[in-house]
Amino acid sequence: MSGEAETTTIHRARRVLALRPFRRLWLVTGVCSSADWLTILGLAALASAIAPGSTGLNFAFSGVLFANLLPGLLFAPIGGLLADRFDRRKVMAAADLVRCALLVSIVLMDTYWWIFVGTFLTQVASIMWIPCKEAALPNLLRRPDQVESAAQLGLVMTYGFSFVVGGGLFVAVSGAGTALHLPQNLFGANGLLKLAVLIAAALYLTSAVIIATRLPELSLRGAAPPGTAAASEDEKQGVLAMLRDSVRYIRGTPLVRGLLIGMMGAFAAGGAVVGAAQPYALSLLGGQATFGLLLIALFVGLGVGMIGAPKLARRLQHERLFGVAIVVAGIALLGVALSPMLAFSLVVVAVVGACAGAAFLTGITIIGSRVEDGMRGRINAVYQAMLKVVVGCSIAVTPLLVTLVRPWTTTVWGDPIRIDGTRPVILCAGVLAIAAGALAHRQMGAATRREPILRAIRDAMSWRAKRVTGMLITVEGTTAANTGEQAKRLADWLGAGERDVLLASDPVLDDDRLTALTSLASLSGPRARALAAAAVRADIVDRSVQPALDAGSIVVMERFADSSIAHLSVSTGLDAGEVDGLAFWATGTLRPDLVVLLDTAPETASSGDVQWRVRDVLREMATTSPARYLVVSGDGAEEEVAERVRFAVWAALTGRFSVPTPAYDPALPG
């Protein structure tokens, strides 16, 4: 990783952790996740210790795992309904108290069967807790583009630090008797194992106290745009009505529908690979050590994918990145199935892991930044339920499919290869992932820009950026926003830095040139005018903007394309995707590096519907690419707005460009 990328990643993480509500929720997540890992290990060990015979002993660990998974298969949607219907903070605190009480009851009852019942009920409480946390998280952040960094930090805490803490606590407590030579029954029969379970209960109690007393922000609800399902939802809406709304939302939202289709295929393929992993390792004739090496390659790939996904997302939209990652994972699975040797298998398995990590993180980011607050809990619950149901069923069915193929041994390039049912199963899993990724990309395409997918993939994977030194910053807004004044102020401020700065404006704003072109050609229809505007835009990009970027300058442009696309689509009825595709082609695939969107309400309600609808279109564009958009309030005096713009741009460019420091943070008091 380059120094610049590392600085940027650390900077983004620090900015998210600087938000006190998120930092507290992140620490609470760590406390609960540590308790989760400690609970699984402690209860499995306790069940083994008090098992009534060899059958009970053999069932102890798998029984605890099954009791952990079963609630997610049965009740996950209920957790989403609670997250969208009730106060999330109260639900989370209550769930933690229930988990604490259940673990204490397991220790007090000291009964083999109650361990499994208590584990089941504990996980029922957990599936009420998780959707509330995931749905509330975006409301604790300042900008949609911070969801990705927050998701990264959450995964690191849950599957990194917490696993080490939970496992370390179990080892320390359960092994204390041997290490310290304590009497065997110092705390009673199986006293140290019970102590480990009680420590987990104390961690849940600690989480409940912090949530109830230190995280009132969890009760916040995001504002829903007018006309959305969340805005019109009745607070007294019943469970059945909420379920119907969920189905309508998924069916009517291509972005969410494509996301779920893609993840269903990815989870099914992943489950098939996990179920076939050990016999596949044996087919490489490397023994059990091969299985370990494949697992290491997979998890290394997962980490690389989760770290690298945000960097790829700067060049490729999240919607495109999601589908592409699943398709590439499927192609890599084909390589796994056809691999003749261990070395090649390790490489392609690492690629599968990297793509899976990127797709999983991107999916979480899309849900957190693109799904409205009133529906976010239910979508998160469906996402989590799919993970458990599809993966679980796939793992269960795979061994049966593997046994249907009679194994034989062949020689490839002088090396013996054992061909059994694992390879056809993995091959089918790869085909399934490719089909699911392609279908997801097609479904989510309504929310993406019309850039050719192959070109987008090539640019995203290229080691050399299209422009190495220059930067294009545009200022967009409705007609109520003074974009010209703010673009000028921003250019003047940036001009005090080390880079040359060029101030330009959307060529469509050049009324004289556009009027002359359209009148001389007798153009009156909306399509003809859009083509004329594209021609003028192409000319100014070729003459002024692109040369300045190639020379390493910062170009500040008023209303580059988005504002005109929004106005044309609203006022003329032209399809926004078609107009955007035309603009993309006219500018030679040039896109702004940063878009400052002045979010200004129309001056009066009578300015019509048009300005309000233009504002909604611009907001939708901002949520499509949160990493590139800086949404700034355009209300207030010109200097106040300019200071907000300067601070937002400074925060986005720190670590990438040398820019002047703004006078103050307008988001903070004083």
| pLDDT the model gives residue 204 | 97
* Band of pLDDT at residue 444, cut at 50, 70 and 90: confident
Check: pTM over 0.85? Answer yes or no: no
CA 22 to chain centre: 16
Give the alpha-carbon dihedral of 610, 615, 620, 621, to 10 degrees: 100
pLDDT single digits (tens) 354-398 = 998 889 888 888 888 778 777 888 888 887 777 777 877 787 788
- Write down the mean pLDDT value for the chain: 78
pLDDT single digits (tens) 249-260 = 888 888 888 898
Q: In terms of pLDDT, which residue wins out, 240 or 509?
A: 240
| pLDDT the model gives residue 659 | 66
| pLDDT the model gives residue 385 | 75
Cα separation of 142 and 308, whole Å? 23
Residue 626, pLDDT above cutoff 90: no
Show the 3-state SS of 626-663.
CCCEEEEECCCCHHHHHHHHHHHHHHHHCCCCCCCCCC
Other CB atoms within 10 A of residue 337 CB: 22
Least confident of 24-33, 68-77, 133-142, 175-184: 175-184
558: its two tokens: 């008023």
Cα separation of 97 and 209, whole Å? 9
* Band of pLDDT at residue 232, cut at 50, 70 and 90: very low
What average pLDDT does this structure show over 414-436? 81
| pLDDT the model gives residue 237 | 56
Residue 321, pLDDT above cutoff 50: yes
* Band of pLDDT at residue 602, cut at 50, 70 and 90: low
pLDDT single digits (tens) 99-144 = 999 999 999 998 999 999 999 999 999 989 998 998 899 888 876 6
* Band of pLDDT at residue 226, cut at 50, 70 and 90: very low
Residue 463, pLDDT above cutoff 50: no
* Band of pLDDT at residue 92, cut at 50, 70 and 90: very high
CA 244 to chain centre: 25
351: its two tokens: 């690629």
Segment of 321-325, 512-516, 612-616 carrying the highest mean pLDDT: 321-325
| pLDDT the model gives residue 319 | 79
8 A C-beta contact, residue 518 and residue 529 = yes
Residue 473, pLDDT above cutoff 80: yes
Residue 668, pLDDT above cutoff 50: no
Q: In terms of pLDDT, which residue wins out, 87 or 235?
A: 87
Q: In terms of pLDDT, which residue wins out, 613 or 502?
A: 502
Instruction: Give which of 517, 524, 530, 628 is closest to 576, Cα–Cα.
Output: 530
| pLDDT the model gives residue 126 | 92
Percent of the chain at pLDDT above 90? 17
Q: In terms of pLDDT, which residue wins out, 29 or 582?
A: 29
Residue 521, pLDDT above cutoff 70: no
400: its two tokens: 């049966």
> Which residues have a Cβ under 8 Å from the Cβ of 24 and sit 6 or more positions away?
210, 214, 215
Residue 506, pLDDT above cutoff 60: no
Instruction: Give which of 270, 26, 86, 145 is closest to 629, Cα–Cα.
Output: 145
Least confident of 209-213, 225-229, 377-381, 548-552: 225-229
| pLDDT the model gives residue 65 | 78
> Which residues are paired to 16 by β-bridges?
none
